[in-house]
Amino acid sequence: MPEGVVCHSVDEVKKKVSDKDKLRVVKAQVHVGGRGKAGGVKLATTKAEAIEKAKQILGMDIKGITVEKILVADAVDIEKEFYVGLINDRNTKSVTLMASAEGGVEIEEVAKVSPEKIIKLTIDPAMGLMPWQARKISLQLFSDPKQIRQCADILVKLYQLYIETDSSLAEINPLVLTPDKQVLAIDGKMNFDDNALFRQKDIIAMREADKDEQKEIEANAKGLSYIKLDGNIGCMVNGAGLAMATMDMIKLYGGEPANFLDIGGSSNPQKVIDAMNILLSDKNVNSVMINIFGGITRCDDVARGLVAALDQINTDVPIVIRLSGTNAKEGLEIIEQTGLPVVKTMREAAQKAIELSKK
């Protein structure tokens, strides 16, 4: 990697960056793509210029995220750009290594137009990525023995990091060859598996989220899966597939869903209370559709949670309920006491929720 320092303030840039004149790159450190296009990456030839660029970039907004730190690194002359990446591949059910001599920003285009230029290797999880395999890939990118070794070393380390951190994607793009024949990783990106965060404390500590994501993370901590959308009909559903189908249904009949909310399986009444709180915290919501088909979720649990939630939350947002499946009879008996409208099918529920939202 090229030499560089991470700075959180202009003062830090003044302290950490040397007085020497050289070409440097000042890069916003944010967890979103497209920062270059947003003006978050700038070149500087002197220290004074680096400080000036740091002033411009620190505090700027890139796709809803405020830039709180920057990387000031030596700019690197590039002779050639490569791509290397690791991903969880659904089809081979393994980690797959990909590499291409055509690196840089156009890698997706390369994949589409000339897929033969992407080298792929399926990694045996028991063996891991062995040095000989890494060399085999490197041999197809480089011809100089020293460069081959440098690249292979980078690949093996990338795989180790990938496994240690439960990644779902790790790519170096570009991996470059400099005019003085060094192999350097210039930029990289990693995604992590949400399901494995329970054993990745260091990764969780690095998490940064915008306002909407914050809400999603809070919901997650409560065992709910929530994504805010732009519509006005709140939905609470059990199961991701049914939740998506519920949104589809609302849209099909002319409404706009306000969110995706899956209360998951094995729900206890507290989950329903939490779910209602999250739903109603969105001020755009003016009707709520609850669609439950019980399997592992028991309808009576949902019903009890709902009664408790409505006791606690003061709301005049109209609610329509549909309960089916495991313990539906017991659940419906509990709901009856609340006097809320209950319908039999998901289509009726969607139609009713749309009607209520217009009042």
Partner 1 sequence: MSILINKDTKVIVQGITGRDGAFHTAKMKAYGTQVVGGTSPGKAGQQVEGVPVFNTVEDAVKATGADASVIFVPAPFAADAIMEASYAGVKLVVCITEHVPVQDMIRVTPVLQKNGTKLVGANCPGLITPDECLIGILPAMIFKKGNVGLISRSGTLTYEVVNMLSESGLGQTTCVGIGGDAVSGLYFIDLLEMYENDPATEAVVVIGEIGGDAEEQAARFIKEKMTKPVVAFIAGQSAPPGKRMGHAGAIISSGSGTAEEKIKAFKAANVPVAKEPREIPGLVKEKLGL
List the one residue from 91, 143, 314, 337 that touches partner 1 (CB under 8 A): 91
Structure tokens at 62: 């890139």
Give the Cα separation of 263 and 286 in Å (integer): 20
List the one residue out of 154, 172, 151 whose CA is nearest residue 86: 172
List the one residue from 2, 264, 269, 318 that touches partner 1 (CB under 8 A): 264
List the one residue from 3, 21, 248, 311 that touches partner 1 (CB under 8 A): 248
Query: Of 66-74, 143-151, 186-194, 300-308, which segment contacts partner 1 by CB under 8 A?
Result: 186-194
Whether 253 sits among the annotated catalytic residues: the reply is no
Alpha helix (H) residue ranges in 174-298: 201-205, 211-221, 240-252, 269-280
Q: How far is the CB of 223 from partner 1 (least distance, A)?
A: 9
For CA atoms 53, 34, 68, 282, the dihedral sign is: positive
Q: Counting contacts by CB under 8 A, is residue 98 touching partner 1?
A: yes
Cα dihedral 280→285→291→292 (10° resolution): -10
Give the Cα separation of 120 and 137 in Å (integer): 9
Q: Counting contacts by CB under 8 A, is residue 125 touching partner 1?
A: yes
Q: Counting contacts by CB under 8 A, is residue 189 touching partner 1?
A: yes
List the one residue from 294, 301, 309, 351 that touches partner 1 (CB under 8 A): 294
Q: How far is the CB of 170 from partner 1 (least distance, A)?
A: 8
Give the Cα separation of 36 and 129 in Å (integer): 32
Q: Which of residues 266-285 bind partner 1 (CB under 8 A)?
A: 266
SS (H, E, C) 82-138: EEEEEEEECCCCEEEEEEECCCCCCHHHHHHHCHHHEEEEEECCCCCCCHHHHHHHH
Structure tokens at 48: 């004074």
Comparing CB distances to partner 1, the nearer of 156 and 313 is 156
Max CA separation in the chain (angstroms): 79
Comparing CB distances to partner 1, the nearer of 4 and 294 is 294
Amino acid at 102: E
Whether 171 sits among the annotated catalytic residues: the reply is yes
Q: Counting contacts by CB under 8 A, is residue 113 touching partner 1?
A: no
List the one residue from 9, 29, 46, 88 that touches partner 1 (CB under 8 A): 88
List the one residue from 23, 43, 48, 240 that touches partner 1 (CB under 8 A): 240
Q: Which of residues 131-160 bind partner 1 (CB under 8 A)?
A: none
From residue 89, alpha-carbon distances to 95, 132, 163, 328 in Å are 6, 22, 14, 39
Where does this chain bind partner 1 (CB under 8 A)? 33, 83, 85-91, 93-96, 98, 107-108, 111, 115, 118, 124-126, 163, 166, 168-169, 171, 173, 189, 191, 193-196, 198-199, 229, 237-242, 244-245, 247-252, 257, 260, 264-266, 292-297, 324-326, 345-347
Catalytic positions, please? 83, 171
